[in-house]
Amino acid sequence: MDPMYMAYSLFRRRKFEDCINICTELLEKNPYDQAAWSLKTRALTEQVYVDEIDVDEEGIAEMLMDDNTIAQITRPGTSLKKPGTGQGAPSAGVRPLSQSGRPLSGFVRPGTQSGRPGTMEQAIRTPRTAHTARPVTSASGRFVRLGTASMLSTPDGPFINLARLNFSKYAARPNLAKPLFEYIFHHENDVRNALELAALATEACGFKDWWWKVQLGKCYYRLGLYRDAERQFKSALKQQEMVDTYLYLCKVYVRLDQPLTAIDIYKQGLEKHPGETALLTGIARIYEGLNDMTNAVKFYKQVLHNDNTHVEAIACIANYHFYTDQPEIALRYYRRLLQMGVYNAELFNNLGLCCFYAQQYDMTLSTFERALSLSTDDLLTADIWYNIGQVAVGIGDTSLALQCFRLALVSNNDHPEAYNNLGVLELRKGHLDQARAFFQAAESLAPHMFEPHYNFATLSDQVGDLQSSYNATKKAIEAYPEHCDSKELLEQLKKHFSIL
């Protein structure tokens, strides 16, 4: 069989490794074989391709150092940085928070930002995974590739030496330019050269090709030139209404902290592409970011109406129902995920919790066992043990609960909730000093949780150390302003301080 035909066939079947090997042989025979060259670039690109829409990571630097937002002090409900109190969202007393004021979402994406650090110092001190789904770096770390990393895939040096390419020559030939651009952008992560190529190519085709505009926009977005990116995407939309372009444009607006504009754009997109799940999901995500759960769930339900296997929508709705006193309904959603073939520790853990709270006692422990056996990393194991501890508390078996929370700490030494609950159990036994130590550990690990602050305050109040109690209560109210018990305690303490 003709090797070129074979290579194409392999590429179509996504067997990139073999395809690259054949192309390499062909290129050795004939270094000027453009078809083989471009096929090899495409195969190399596809190996490491990650959809640019879902790659939305902010390093510490982007979070703190750049100021793209226009309004510094926003009205509540119009900004993602200071989400309002929201409607229909369960309060902090019910739903756990990942950061102050951001309830845990049902689905973790690479672009998930739950809350933002206030200062550089704070960002460096908090655990690295507290703000994004991956460990935070100083700048977006995924795009910084050392020379050695790219060499590894190709033992005899890089495939294309970018420094020696004459971009203007390639830009005129779209059939070569497009794969080359993708290679530079996705494989080499060399945004500057990619931008140069894209600019030349746009010029070459007389600004008539929307695709090049979108690529330009992507480059600008990577470089942090959001307004330029916005211009490119808008002009691309004028030429051709593509779902991708809408998503990119909205990404820009989210980065500029203009959620309402983003929602408008999504809705315009929905007029052109009715029932497009990616757009509907985008709207729902923004509403969730604004803590407006009523609308978020509404849009997630629309997503399911159009695509009833959408994992993110199912998980988010299930999560919402679980925390609004409807574990039975949450259980149905999670079981749907199980039927679809999702098979991981998180799902079984959630199923176990839903079973327990929906009083399906026959299934509870077996699902937790399954979750433990599927768990791949320590953080997850800790969370599962923690939840088994919650079940143990539910059946009134405090010694089992104590063991479970301790096991959670064994797997993850920085598990603030486990520390707090251990403190509560110790307090019930009457071991004040141990309880205090546990509460303090929890406080220092998670200043955004109100429970350890409040527990520490009540403990200090009992033994009469009113100053510590006052300070802890203040922190509790800062973490969760609507907590009535904290407010009552603060009133009492203030009375103590003002009476002579």
Partner 1 sequence: MEDDNATNDAIKAASNPSLDEIKQPVKAQPKPRPKKAPELPIFERRNWLIHLHYVRKEYEACKMLIKEQVAETSGMCEYPLYVQALILRQMGRIQESLECFQTCALINAQNSDNLKQVARSLFLLGRHKAAIDVYSEAARMSSRDWEISHNQGVCYMYLKEYMKAKEMLKQAIQFNRHDLSYVMLAKIYLMEGDIHMAIDVYKRAIEFSPENPELLTTLGLLYLQMNQNQRAFEHLGNALTYDPSNVKAILAAGSMMQQHNDYDVALTKYRIAAAAVPESAPLWNNIGMCFFGRKKYVAAISCLKRAGYLASFDWRILYNLGLVHLTMQQYASAFHFLSAAINLKPKMGQLFMLLAVALTHLDDTDNAKQAYEQALQLDSKDVSILLNFSLFLYNLGDRKTATKHFIAFEQSMQKLKDTGAADLDAELMDTAGKLGPALQVGESLVWKDKANQPSTSPSAPLPAPPPYTDTSTEALANAPTPPTHDPAASEQNSNTRSDRVAVPSQ
| Binders in 76-135 for partner 1, by CB under 8 A | 91, 93-94, 96, 98, 104-110, 129, 133-134
Minimum Å gap between C-beta 431 and partner 1 is 13
Of the candidate spans 6-14, 195-203, 212-220, 446-454, the one that interacts with partner 1 by CB under 8 A turns out to be 446-454
Q: Are 254 and 260 in contact (CB under 8 A)?
A: no
149 binds partner 1 (CB under 8 A): no
Residue 206 CB-density burial (10 A; 0-12 exposed, 13-18 middle, 19+ buried): exposed
Considering CB under 8 A, how many residues would be counted as binding partner 1? Answer: 84
Segment 278 to 317, residues that bind partner 1, using CB under 8 A: 278, 309-312, 315
Binding marks (x or -) toward partner 1, 341..380, rule CB under 8 A? Answer: -x-x-x--xx--x---x-x-x------------------x
Least distance to partner 1, CB of residue 176, Å: 27
What is the nearest approach in angstroms of partner 1 to the Cβ of residue 387? 5
Among 37, 246, 287, 322, binds partner 1 (CB under 8 A): 322
The pattern of x and - marking residues 6 through 25 that bind partner 1 according to CB under 8 A reads --------------------
Residue among 43, 470, 477, 479 that touches partner 1 (CB under 8 A): 470
Q: Which is nearer to partner 1, 257 or 451 (CB)?
A: 451
Least Å distance, CB 33 to partner 1, is 33
Q: Which is nearer to partner 1, 161 or 359 (CB)?
A: 359
Distance (Å, whole) CA 486 – CA 500 = 23
Site string for partner 1, 240-279 (x = CB under 8 A): ---x---------------------------------xx-
**Distance between the two ends of the chain, CA-based, in angstroms?**
98
The Cβ of residue 301 has, within 10 Å, a number of other Cβ atoms equal to: 13
Q: Which is nearer to partner 1, 173 or 406 (CB)?
A: 406
Give yes or no for a contact between 242 and 268, defined as CB atoms under 8 angstroms apart: no
Q: Which of 201, 459, 477, 479 binds partner 1 (CB under 8 A)?
A: 459
Which amino acid, 488?
Answer: E
Q: Cβ 258 to partner 1, closest distance in Å? A: 25
Q: Give whichever of 232 and 486 is closer to partner 1, judged by the CB atom.
A: 486
Spatial separation of the C-alpha atoms in residues 330 and 335, rounded to whole Å: 9
Q: Show the binding pattern over residues 379-408: x = contacts partner 1 (CB under 8 A), - = does not.
A: -x--xx-xx--x--xxxxxx----------
Binding to partner 1 in span 184-203, by CB under 8 A: none
**Least Å from the CB of residue 25 to partner 1:** 30
User: Closest CB to partner 1 among 109 and 116?
Assistant: 109
Distance of CA 431 to the CA centre of its chain: 40
Q: Please identify which residue in 175, 305, 463, 481 interacts with partner 1, judged by CB under 8 A.
A: 463
Q: What is the dihedral of CA 189, 195, 198, 202, to 10 degrees?
A: 160
Q: Which backbone phi and psi does 99 adopt, to 5 degrees?
A: -140, 170
Position 216 contacts partner 1 (CB under 8 A)? no
